[in-house]
């Protein structure tokens, strides 16, 4: 495999899910390797330690090796070795069939890998796979119309919260998530110690679902097309969906609190949380000086959190909640992707937080949905910009209120009854967005900067 490993650095730097430094991989070495199929094609499962200018990460890279070059796989070809032509196995239907077959009870055991299947689950063996588009950090495969295999590309030691929370919610009979069907975990070497982590998750495939971001932005387009109408007067009004989404969010939070540990955050811990938020703000100002004029107003939200003396209930939450993490089906909203903030360590992603954090993140997502066309289609020089910006704020406020109303109707908590907490989390999220956009998508920077200005003046 050494020749195949030598192909990885150049290939990895071009993969959208590779989140290493700007210089790309500086070094790649295998920390675990398993042969899944010794036929045609040969299928290897690799875990590689990738060094880059931001540190070191473990990446999962299944490879298939064909004796003859395959035209249909040229777009995922890494190169050629003495063993044959090397491809990304997750785009190779012959290789992904091998991967799914390993969930079977009678499949050969593979050292270092464990395939688990839930009881009474029908795995669609024999169904061809299809790589789903739009996945930024992992690779998801649909097998027929019943199962989705999500392969985690960047992996960490420990139980991935996506597996853990889907398992907890599925066992509780929660119908607001896709049912967990199985998962894969594996071992690798880290500093001469064997560690274990989650590698993949098999869940039900929501075939008729519509992405929450797509539905929300379609509503915004309808509003912009009727610029002289208010949000509640446009046929594509999203408020009823936002209300139902709030209800679904509250019910998932309620179930998580019932089946997993909960706790409280004392005043000292709230003080530490506010300090951490302040630290992130100071770091953000150093990277994006445009934040400086608003710094005092933003710090005021963190100061208000420090002054709170009542404890805050904490529990397991989604952790990275936005309109792209929810799907609208004929049976209502479903929540997906419980991995949390992917760049954080697994231990941090499995930590307990106030459910208000999820609410704040979704409110920020509503703002993004309302304003993204202002940077892509209607920049400030557009004569209609100011009127549309007013409509965007109106849309955000209407749907934020609807979401919170829906949440409050299904929970014992109205997030608006926690104003210091909600404002602090929303501010922290907006500051994160400023840094993200400045680094990755500068043309979208006006969206979080506008939110920062609004939050800085909201007391």
Say which DSSP state 323 is in.
Answer: G
Closest of 162, 161, 166, 187 to residue 176, by C-alpha: 166
**pTM given for the model:** 0.94
Q: Which residues contact 49 (CB under 8 A, 6 or more apart)?
A: 28, 29, 30, 31, 56, 57, 58
CA dist 136 and 307 (Å) reads 39
Q: With 90 as the cut, is the pLDDT of residue 412 above it?
A: no
Q: How far is Cα 364 from Cα 433, in angstroms, rounded to an integer?
A: 9
**Phi, psi for residue 142 in degrees, rounded to 5:** -95, 130
Tens of pLDDT, residue by residue over 113-150, are: 999 999 989 999 999 999 998 778 999 999 999 999 99
Q: Give the model's pLDDT for residue 423.
A: 98
**Cα distance between the two ends of the chain:** 60
pLDDT of residue 135: 79
Q: Does 417 have pLDDT greater than 90?
A: yes
Burial of 124 (0-12, 13-18, 19+ CB in 10 A): middle
What pLDDT is attached to residue 235?
64
What's the pLDDT at 258? 98
pLDDT digits (tens, 9 = 90+) for 284-300: 999 999 999 999 999 99
Confidence of residue 392 (pLDDT cuts 50, 70, 90): very high
Which pLDDT tens digit goes with each residue over 231-278?
677 667 999 999 999 999 999 999 999 999 999 999 999 999 999 999
pLDDT category of residue 393 using cuts at 50, 70 and 90: very high
pLDDT tens sequence across 105-114: 888 899 999 9
pLDDT digits (tens, 9 = 90+) for 321-374: 999 999 999 999 999 999 999 888 888 999 999 999 999 999 999 999 999 999
Domain-by-domain residue ranges, the chain? Answer: 2-204, 210-317+352-456
Confidence at 431, pLDDT banded by 50, 70, 90? very high
Task: Provide mean pLDDT across the span 303-326.
Answer: 96
H or E element: which one contains 185?
strand 180-190
Residue 28 has pLDDT above 90, yes or no: yes
Q: Would you say residue 230 has pLDDT above 80?
A: no
Overall CATH class of domain 210-317+352-456: alpha beta
Percentage, residues of the chain above pLDDT 90: 84
Burial class (CB in 10 A: 0-12, 13-18, 19+), 331: exposed
pLDDT at 86 over 90: yes
């Amino acid at each position: 495999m050494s020749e195949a490993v030598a192909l990885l650095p150049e290939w990895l730097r071009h993969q959208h899910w590779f989140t290493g430094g700007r210089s790309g991989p500086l070094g790649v070495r295998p920390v675990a390797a398993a042969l899944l199929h010794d036929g045609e094609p040969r299928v290897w499962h690799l875990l590689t330690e990738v060094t880059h200018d931001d540190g070191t990460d473990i990446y999962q890279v299944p490879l298939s090796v064909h004796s003859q070059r395959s035209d249909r796989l040229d777009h995922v070809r890494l190169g050629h070795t003495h063993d044959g032509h090397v491809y990304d196995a997750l785009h190779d239907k012959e290789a992904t069939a091998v991967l799914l077959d390993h969930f079977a009870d009678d499949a050969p055991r593979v050292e270092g890998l464990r395939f688990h299947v839930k009881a009474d689950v029908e795995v669609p063996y024999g169904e061809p796979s299809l790589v789903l588009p739009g996945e930024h950090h992992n690779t998801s495969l649909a097998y027929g119309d019943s199962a989705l295999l999500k392969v985690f590309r960047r992996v960490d030691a420990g139980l991935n919260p996506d597996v853990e929370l889907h398992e907890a919610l599925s066992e509780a009979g929660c119908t607001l998530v896709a049912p967990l069907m199985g998962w894969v975990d594996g071992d690798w070497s880290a500093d001469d110690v064997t560690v274990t982590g989650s590698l993949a998750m098999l869940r039900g495939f929501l075939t008729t679902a519509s992405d929450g971001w797509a539905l929300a932005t379609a509503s915004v387009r309808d509003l912009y097309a009727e610029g002289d109408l208010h949000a509640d007067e446009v046929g594509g009004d999203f408020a009823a969906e936002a209300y139902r989404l709030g209800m679904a969010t509250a019910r998932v939070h309620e179930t998580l609190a019932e089946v997993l540990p909960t706790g409280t955050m004392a005043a000292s811990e709230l003080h530490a949380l506010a300090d951490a938020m302040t630290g992130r703000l100071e770091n953000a100002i150093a990277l994006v000086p445009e934040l400086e004029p608003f710094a005092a107003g933003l710090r005021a939200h963190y100061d208000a959190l420090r002054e709170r003396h009542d404890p805050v209930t904490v529990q397991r939450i989604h952790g990275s909640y936005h309109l792209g993490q929810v799907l609208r089906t004929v049976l209502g909203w479903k929540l997906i992707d419980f991995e949390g903030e992917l760049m954080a360590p697994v231990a941090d992603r499995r930590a307990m937080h106030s459910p208000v954090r999820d609410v704040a993140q979704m409110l920020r997502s509503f703002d993004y949905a309302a304003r993204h066309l202002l940077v892509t289609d209607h920049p400030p020089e557009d004569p209609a910009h100011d009127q549309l910006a007013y409509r965007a704020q109106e849309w955000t406020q209407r749907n934020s209120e609807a979401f919170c109303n829906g949440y409050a109707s299904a929970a014992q908590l109205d997030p608006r009854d926690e104003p210091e907490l909600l404002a602090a989390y929303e501010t922290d999220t907006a500051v994160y967005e400023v840094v993200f956009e400045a680094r990755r998508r500068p043309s979208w920077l006006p969206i979080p900067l506008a939110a920062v200005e609004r939050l800085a003046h909201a007391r």
